[in-house]
Structure 1
């Protein structure tokens, strides 16, 4: 693949990594897709690089849900709290671009917990727990995508 092609793949990977930190795009999937396109163009041994990167990224996706679920379960937070937070986060994103996602998520989790517990202090603890779980999942996904990116960089450098 030409240098320009590899720079383009790298730019898409960068957008994917930013999509994890600023949840606008499905970042991990975008990173994996960019490496997949690179492998399809390069062919041969590049499919091994793609397989290794994809395995790391998919494992990161699975682990993030397991860790978040365990964290929420230990804090006694039901899945509905995350769902309501996610819906209000998406709504908030369109009302207040980028930061509205975080504000909407916390507000949604707080409201869901307030309805469930009928206690503002308990609801706030639940919203904080849900926010911690969201940050942990973001960190795990980013770490896995960065590892996948590192695998691609090694593979692209060898070729």
Structure 2
């Protein structure tokens, strides 16, 4: 512990730089988006101490905390605008198909057939109606690997 205190007394920016790098490494390993902003704040405090602003560890900790809170709040607002929670998951292919037009490739018999949508053929179920091969239907839901489709409604 004395070694860290000696390093801090001589060149405090190395301690803040180390804290920032450690936080950034943990963030890179776990991708939580929560440790990125404290890492940036530690980097800012490291730069402030490197240019000669030496107010002591208490003040530096307060600046670090303030910058962390401000960056986290600003980033949270920005991330919500860029990546809204209501948007479908990019990895959930089935839910992204809902609302798309699908071309019938196998006629529906007893409410079951096949459609082509988003570059692949899918099993499909239609509650009512009939759609011959070549017609377009609208995907209304996805249950596993079976799409629920309907005629009309923009089809």
Q: Confirm or deny a common fold (TM above 0.5).
A: no
Q: TM-score range by the shorter chain?
A: 0.3 to 0.5
Task: Normalising by structure 2, report the TM-score.
Answer: 0.35
Which structure has the larger Rg over C-alpha atoms?
Answer: 2
Structure with greater contact order relative to length (CA < 8 Å, sep ≥ 6): 1
Is the helix fraction higher in 1 or 2?
A: 1
